[in-house]
Amino acid sequence: MMEHVYVESLASHVGQEVHLKGWVAGKRSSGKVRFLLLRDGTGMVQCVVTPGADSASFSLAEELPLEASVEVWGTVREDARAPGGHELSLTRVQPVHIPSEDFPIALKEHGVGFLMEHRHLWIRMRRQVPILRLRDGILWASRQFFKERGFVATESPILVGTSVEGTTTLFTLDYFGRPAYLSQSGQLYLEATCAALGKVYWIGPTFRAEKSKTRRHLTEFWMLEAEVAFLEHEGNLVLQEDLVRYIVEYAASEHAADLEALERDPRVLLDQVSEPFARVTYAEAVQLVREAGVEMEEGDDLGAPAEDAISKHFGRPVFVERFPAQIKPFYMKRAPDNPHQALCADLIGPEGYGELIGGSQRVDSEEELERQLREAGLPLEPYKWYVDLRKWGSVPHSGFGLGVERTVAWICGLAHLREAIPFPRMLDRIDP
Ligand code: 4AD
């Protein structure tokens, strides 16, 4: 029995006969030769079928429709012109399942609405596979980064009784007769676990009832959050910068083939993170945005046009620090030299990918926290446990949340977040 191998390992089987299993992703003929493009999740390989192959296989190669599942046998040949650098001289093909209807997504252009309705099938297509592989790589690299630095992964609940990021984007549900919400961020719970474990992180789904349709917002998205005891604002920025650089370097070195399939040049990404990230204060950012011709009032949050102007100006990731405290959430510590500013930073990505990370040093005094909760118009009772964290051994601590889909979109060079997650949830989409 010949061993089943995957497309990604063909380089170590040159000249050998191998057995592959996958799906027909394309086919064409040229004279007496048939070409079958086979994909198996790890990559694509062109199978060349000459009349010398067994005759049943030769006619099958002509008849098999797109997305038929097959097993094939053949010899691996190096070919610099072939996608992936290898070709298979096919000797035998055996169908596993032959669809009786045409695959709805042809190799022609389709509208976005149609593709979204067929998302369950669209994810098999040429660009979608490398995007999902890169998403996996980005998450894997993040876990590796935190593991190397001694962080402990701790999960936050999804069903919660309190809001973190304001009450306007809460999904409310009935929890056995009382209101509950889908979590907007695991941060408050990470602040509790960091007091138990020192350095913690988690990667999980978060929810925002965003009522606007933009290319940067999903209603369900994944966040990578970290929280560190005895860490202050400055150290928090260094940690974020190290993480982002680590992710980019990992993607460039371990996912070169996926980036190539997306026509995303890894050198561009590596260039963007090669220097220290830029830093500006909110006040400087406002000035810069206005100079770029974008209207913005002092005290406004950064909208998409403002973020784009900042992104364009620097051409590399940039931290915007010290936002006005009144436009930031209740949990952020105020700057010691200016109580109107929060000790926080948003990391704006290059190429107009918007805010990749939001982070801050947290309020560590019980009294201050209660005051800020009141100022935010929030009831104290549901946050009692959170205030408790400041009662026993309160320490300076900081953390951040990185938007997974925005990071995937940037690294893959995507125009919209909907392709950065297998099944996007947006204002007008909950199926499939
Ligand atoms: O800036 P945000 O709202 O920060 C927090 O939720 C903090 N509690 C995180 C923390 O400090 N632990 O969100 C963090 C990141 C944003 O920078 C953005 O990348 C992403 O989450 N994000 C979204 N991504 C997709 N769709 C949305 N609707 C998003 N809202 C935020």
Q: What is the structure's pLDDT at 52?
A: 81
Is the Cβ atom of 354 under 6 angstroms away from ligand 1? no
Helix (H) or strand (E) holding 47: strand 44-49
| Separation of CA 251 from chain center | 12
With CA atoms as reference, report the closest residue to 73 among 59, 86, 57.
Answer: 57
- What does the pLDDT look like over 348-384, one tens digit per residue? 999 999 999 999 999 999 999 999 999 999 999 999 9
Q: What is the pLDDT of residue 326?
A: 96
Q: Where are the beta strands (DSSP E) in 254-384?
A: 278-281, 318-321, 334-335, 338-342, 344-348, 355-361
pLDDT, tens digit (0-9, with 9 covering 90-100), for 188-239:
999 999 999 999 999 999 999 989 889 999 999 999 999 999 999 999 999 9
Is 260 buried (19+), middle (13-18) or exposed (0-12) by CB count in 10 A? middle
Residue 241 in contact with ligand 1 by CB distance below 6 A: no
pLDDT at 393 over 80: yes
pLDDT in tens, 158-176: 999 999 998 899 999 999 9
Residue 69 has pLDDT above 90, yes or no: yes
Which residue's alpha carbon is nearest to atom 6 within ligand 1? 185
Q: 319: CA distance to ligand 1 center in Å?
A: 15
Domains of the chain: 7-97 (2.40.50.140), 120-419 (3.30.930.10)
What type of residue sits at position 80?
A
pTM metric for this prediction:
0.97
Nearest Cα neighbor of 361 from 337, 333, 336, 338 is 333
Residue 281, Cα to own-chain centre: how many angstroms? 27
- Does 210 contact ligand 1 (Cβ within 6 A)? yes
191 touches ligand 1 (CB under 6 Å): no
In the prediction, which pLDDT does 318 show? 98
- pLDDT tens-digit map of 79-114: 988 878 899 999 999 999 999 999 999 867 899 999
* Residue to substitute in 355, 407, 426, 427 for testing ligand 1 pocket (most ligand atoms within 8 angstroms of CB): 355
pLDDT score at 282: 98
| Ligand 1 site, residue 223, Cβ cutoff 6 A | yes
